[in-house]
Amino acid sequence: MKNKISLFTIAILLFSFIHPLNNLFSQNRTNAAAKLIFDSFIPGKDSILKVGVLFELEKDWHIYWRNPGDSGIPTSIEFILPNGLHSSGIQWPVPSIFNYDTEVNFGYENQVMLMSDIFIPSSYALGSIKITAKIEALLCKYICIPFDTILNTTIDLTSDKTLNDHASKLFEETEKLLPISNHNLIAKANYEIENLHLSIDNLNETQMKYDSFLFLPYENGLFSYTAEQKIVRDGNQITLIVEPAQFRTQKPDSLEGILVMKGNGSIQAYEIKVPISH
């Protein structure tokens, strides 16, 4: 996907700022649609309201993960809430990987739901609340166009909320694709000259049977995405050798990202946060 941020794209972005989209519960465009979906909620029992922004994209179009890769812009969702309420950041499912001739991108195609939590203090006076989601995304195929919109809805927190089967399945499937942050894997990282060596110990029998292991960093511009990550296996330990980005200016002192395991039609990801030994 070459020349994604072109003068044409910049012109469209400027146009979108001058001519904002209408405020809607859902927003439909020719190549994409977005809408708000809420998880079940029981007043007086639940202190978290789960909300998802469901993106439905036309064939071959995609939006971007928190680290877009060699080009692109991370998808952004900002929730505007009444005083006393606040939201978590986006809970990012494992992204798809888009390989092109000279670059690699990370993102989502077809359909994806990006979830967040809205925290409701026990002292909060329940009632009808207005929830606004400001979305900024870059939608790409052969060219890129902005998908920027504002979604508004009002939800009554005084009554029970139950999901239909379709919405319930969306939350269930999305949660399965979230990286696991609380796990028993032991991660260590160090530099061998310029390359990063990421060692993962304490893998169980099922994890060792995965065919593919790939580390995706949260921060962009540090490591090469086009160079193959070599894998060294030793008992219940693997070591990934990750090459630096071509124009990296400094070596980071810590590593944050996800380790993605694939095999036999299944996928699982684990969040990795570890210092790097020099």
d(Cα 123, Cα 95) in Å, to the nearest integer?
38
Residue 5 has pLDDT above 80, yes or no: no
Q: Is the Cβ–Cβ distance between 111 and 96 less than 8 Å?
A: no
| Whether pLDDT at 23 is above 50 | no
- CA gap 150, 134 in Å, rounded: 5
User: Which residues, in sequence order, are CB contacts of 265 under 8 Å at separation 6+?
Assistant: none
Query: Where exactly does CATH 2.60.40.10 map onto the chain?
Result: 7-176
Decide which of 46 and 97 is more confident. 97
The Cα 100–Cα 88 span in angstroms is 33
CATH topology of domain 186-277: Immunoglobulin-like (2.60.40)
Domain at 7-176, CATH homologous superfamily:
Immunoglobulins (2.60.40.10)
H/E element, 116: strand 111-119
pLDDT tens sequence across 132-175:
999 999 999 989 999 999 999 999 999 888 888 899 999 999 99
Helix runs in 125-200, H state only: 165-176
SS3 state of residue 170 = helix
Of 162, 144, 158, whose CA–CA distance to 63 is shortest?
144
- pTM, 2 dp: 0.87
* Torsions phi, psi for 224 (to 5 deg): -75, 135
As a 3-state breakdown, the chain gives helix, strand, coil percent values, each rounded to 5, of: 10, 50, 40
Q: Give the tens place of pLDDT for each residue, 80-124.
A: 999 999 999 999 999 999 999 899 999 999 999 999 999 999 899
